[in-house]
Amino acid sequence: MSYKWWITGCIAIVVLAACKHDIINPDGTANGGGNGGSNTVCFEAEVLPIFRSSCAKSGCHDAGSRQDGYQLDTYVNIVARGIRAGNANDSKIFQAITDSDPRDRMPLAPNPALTAAQIDVIRRWINEGARNTTNCGTVCDTTSFTFSGAVNTILTNNCVGCHNNTTAPSSGGVNLSSYAGVRTVALNGKLLGAVEHRSGFSPMPKGGNKLSDCNIVQIRKWINAGALNN
């Protein structure tokens, strides 16, 4: 083999190696991969709650409504269409949540738009391969329980999609999109009773997984400390 052809062959091997991608299985795991590194977005803990709270609602994208054919309540249903693994900008669902026209943006007005932090989490998850990462050991610090540093984020991702200015009249008058609204249900016992799934309270998040023990501890500590706007 001539030196020229040997070099050409080596270059081809390098290019093929550089272009290798993980093959995503039907359950969202990657061949040869685990649940991702410590900096990988955790679908179960970080992404699914956003879709369930803000999208998988009656009249929108729950099992009964399936607007435009989208059902956004489980991993399998979310990635069934509108998600292009590895390319958020070319994913219809991501385009919808970032649309600049409020008439087309999802969730539809007057429902609140996703926050910049929520959009970033979904962007990263798609670009990382839109994998079904579960039991990720996501870091949660029970010593962090301020409203701005912990509680508001927990409620925004898990509850505000159903309990905001628009939906409050039809959701028991509970509005968790503002500190004042959260403080009201924190001090009257409804918030902790709901997230702890106590008897006599409507368990929340409705239709979703119970909050992690750590998140519940953070909310409890915040309430016990006076439910301050800190």
What would the pLDDT profile of 79-116 be if each residue is shown by its tens digit?
A: 999 999 999 999 999 999 999 998 899 998 888 899 99
Whether residues 47 and 88 share a domain: the answer is yes
Per the structure, the count of domains in the chain is 2
Domain end, chosen from 66, 92, 127, is at 127
Query: Does the pTM exceed 0.85?
Result: no
- Does residue 30 lie in a domain region? no
Q: For residue range 42-92, list pLDDT tens digits in order.
A: 999 899 999 998 998 878 897 888 989 999 999 999 999 999 999 999 999
- Does residue 209 lie in a domain region? yes
- Does residue 215 lie in a domain region? yes
Mean pLDDT of the chain: 83
Whether residue 71 contacts residue 62, with contact meaning beta carbons closer than 8 Å, is answered with yes
The dihedrals phi and psi of 12, each to the nearest 5 degrees, come to -65, -40
Domain end, chosen from 127, 156, 178, is at 127
Distance CA 73, CA 53 (A): 9
CB atoms under 10 Å from CB of 30, counted, come to: 19
Give me the domain span that covers residue 51: 43-127
Pick left, alpha or beta for residue 137 (phi over 0 → left; psi -120 to 50 → alpha; otherwise beta): left
Residue that the structure tokens 């669902």 belong to: 93
